[in-house]
């Protein structure tokens, strides 16, 4: 195969400090369109969920302070994919040109003749203090801010020692990135060069994320305070009078799931909304999708012969309208439309259709009851492959002519090993369908779910599948949809000793 006429473009983009809401519009556009995404550990949870289903996602970050993927390998992958004509997004936590090695990567691309674009991002040194109520500049307290890396090189290269005399004399706020492991050296060096031991200091872990926490003190006592609190990377350290404003200007209200880790196992496109809601409630969310939705091919669907059309999921709605002939919602005017659950009903509304029948309980048995008094001669049921036959069997027993069309199937998608490990150790492990149960446990293999984890089921069918696999759900939603699942989880967290984790 001949090489492409021209190389693809590499986009060096910042993903911001962690909160997906702080991602730039341009970065979000690129995530949704590029062929390849090379991403770091500090790219916040849920940020790459908008990637194309066929995009190649490659983790090139660091774990545990060590180099998971050497920088040279990351640069080689950028050049290799771009040379093959692919569009590449090199996605970094924060800003690519603020301690992100973006300059090195841009030079490599320029030397290789690869076109590139720089997409700035919000840097953690500004955002994390802001989320902690600390303005890095403030009239009368600080008219300047210095951004400093507190991290020593561990790749064998020479250590660039900081000019501690200049930093101690700096007339403003000092913000140290990646410095929690070097905090004792930082504090001692600043005091030794003349910075006051009583200078206010704030160390902010997981800035802008639901797990954010702040430890405050002075240059003299901050090391001991951080050690007692068990602060870990990623953290930023703010030194200067503005650090003391954090208590007065704190604006993030306590959130009900703060301190808890919740694993989401549903398919990635559907997981995003649930993950955002859980994160907004303060949870640390582990997205471990164990299934993927795959559309099934078939002829166009003609709604004209049917006086009842039943849709059983939001995925089914999307696939139904893709296959609808003619592709016009008005063609459904002669049929009653039934939907299992408000999620399916909302998906129909997005296409301009209001469901005529939505049962109170969101299972097939309830839809059978809701249809009991409705005259039906011919029905179309659109559903996933291998679904239960409760609804078609009940309608056929009434003498209804029933056509069942399977529009999509769920297939296994094993989470990466490190993500699976986090999910197995989560405080809450959520399941939204029987297929998420089967495929998640298949991916886990011999690995056990933490005995402390609480298993959350969206409804009785999923709960039964859990029991078939030897797992008793601790929490079952009374309203069998995502809103019900979140409500049940919140109620359990409020009543559980785990809720005291902060």
Q: Judging by DSSP bridges, how do beta strands 173-177 and 235-239 pair with one another?
A: antiparallel
Please give the structure tokens belonging to residue 292.
């993927």
Positive or negative: CA dihedral 174, 179, 185, 187: positive
Q: Which of 62, 221, 356, 421 is catalytic?
A: 62
Please give the structure tokens belonging to residue 232.
């870990």
Q: Which of 19, 35, 40, 206 is catalytic?
A: 40
Structural contact between residues 85 and 4, judged by C-beta atoms closer than 8 angstroms = yes
SS3 262: strand
d(CA 473, CA 194) in angstroms, rounded, equals 59
Beta carbons within 10 angstroms of residue 483's beta carbon: 15
Structural contact between residues 410 and 387, judged by C-beta atoms closer than 8 angstroms = no
Q: Could you give the angle at which helices 314-323 and 342-349 cross, rounded to 10 degrees?
A: 30
Q: Is 62 a catalytic residue?
A: yes
Please give the structure tokens belonging to residue 10.
């590499």
Q: Is 92 a catalytic residue?
A: no
Q: Which residues, 6 or more positions from 230, have their beta carbon under 8 angstroms from its beta carbon?
A: none
Q: Judging by DSSP bridges, how do beta strands 10-14 and 88-92 pair with one another?
A: parallel
Structural contact between residues 385 and 408, judged by C-beta atoms closer than 8 angstroms = yes
DSSP labels, 379-391: EEEEEETT---HH
Strands (E) across 345-483 are located at: 378-384, 401-412, 428-431, 454-457, 475-476
d(CA 135, CA 252) in angstroms, rounded, equals 14
Q: Is 479 left (phi over 0), alpha (psi -120 to 50) or beta?
A: beta
Q: In what order do the strands lie in the sheet with 284-287?
A: 284-287, 261-264, 428-431, 454-457, 475-476
Structural contact between residues 356 and 333, judged by C-beta atoms closer than 8 angstroms = no
**Cα(first)–Cα(last) distance of the chain, in Å?**
57
H or E segment at 438?
helix 434-444
**Nearest in space to 208 (alpha carbons), one of 13, 422, 427, 22:** 22
Tokens 């559907």 -> residue: 270
Which residues are part of the catalytic machinery? 40, 62
């Amino acid at each position: 195969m001949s090489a492409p006429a021209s190389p693809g473009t590499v986009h060096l983009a910042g993903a911001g400090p962690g909160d997906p809401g702080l991602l730039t519009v341009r970065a979000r556009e690129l995530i949704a369109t590029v062929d390849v995404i090379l991403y770091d550990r500090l790219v916040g949870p849920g940020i790459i969920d908008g990637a194309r289903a066929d995009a190649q996602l490659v983790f090139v970050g660091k774990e545990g302070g060590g180099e998971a993927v050497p920088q040279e390998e990351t640069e080689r992958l950028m050049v290799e994919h771009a040379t093959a004509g692919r569009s590449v997004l090199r996605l970094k936590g924060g800003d690519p040109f603020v301690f992100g090695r973006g300059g090195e990567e841009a030079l490599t691309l320029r030397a290789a003749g690869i076109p590139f674009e720089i997409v700035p991002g919000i840097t953690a040194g500004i955002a994390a203090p802001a989320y902690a109520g600390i303005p890095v500049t403030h009239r009368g307290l600080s008219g300047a801010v210095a951004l400093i890396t507190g991290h020593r090189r561990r790749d064998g290269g020479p250590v660039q020692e900081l000019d501690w005399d200049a930093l101690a004399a700096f007339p403003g706020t000092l913000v140290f990135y990646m410095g929690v492991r070097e905090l004792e050296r930082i504090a001692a060096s600043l005091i030794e060069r003349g910075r006051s031991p009583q200078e206010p200091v704030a160390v902010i872990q997981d800035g802008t994320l639901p797990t954010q926490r702040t430890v405050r003190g002075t240059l003299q006592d901050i090391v001991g305070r951080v050690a007692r609190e068990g602060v870990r990377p990623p953290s930023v350290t703010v030194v200067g009078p503005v650090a003391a404003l954090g208590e007065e200007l704190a604006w993030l209200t306590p959130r009900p799931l703060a301190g808890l880790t919740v694993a989401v196992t549903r398919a990635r496109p559907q997981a995003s909304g649930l993950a955002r809601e859980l994160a907004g409630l303060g949870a640390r969310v582990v997205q471990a999708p164990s299934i993927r939705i795959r559309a099934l091919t078939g002829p166009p669907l003609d709604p004209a012969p049917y006086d009842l059309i039943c849709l059983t999921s939001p995925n089914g709605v999307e696939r139904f309208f893709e296959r609808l002939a003619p592709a016009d919602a008005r063609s459904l005017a002669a049929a009653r439309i039934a939907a299992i659950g408000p999620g399916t009903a909302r998906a129909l509304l997005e296409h301009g259709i209001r469901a005529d029948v939505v049962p109170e309980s969101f299972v097939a048995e309830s839809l059978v009851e809701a249809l009991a008094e409705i005259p039906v001669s011919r029905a179309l049921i659109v559903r996933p492959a291998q679904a239960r036959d409760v609804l078609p069997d009940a309608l056929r027993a009434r003498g209804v002519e029933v056509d069942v069309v399977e529009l999509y199937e769920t297939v296994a998608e094993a989470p990466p090993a490190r993500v699976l490990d986090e999910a197995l150790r989560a405080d809450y492990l959520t399941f939204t369908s029987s297929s998420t149960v089967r495929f998640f446990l298949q991916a886990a293999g011999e690995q056990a779910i933490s005995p402390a984890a609480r298993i959350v089921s969206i409804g009785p069918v999923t709960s039964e599948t859990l029991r078939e696999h030897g797992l008793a759900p601790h929490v079952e939603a009374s309203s069998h949809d995502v809103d019900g699942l979140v409500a049940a989880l919140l109620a359990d967290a409020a009543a559980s000793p785990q809720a005291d984790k902060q």
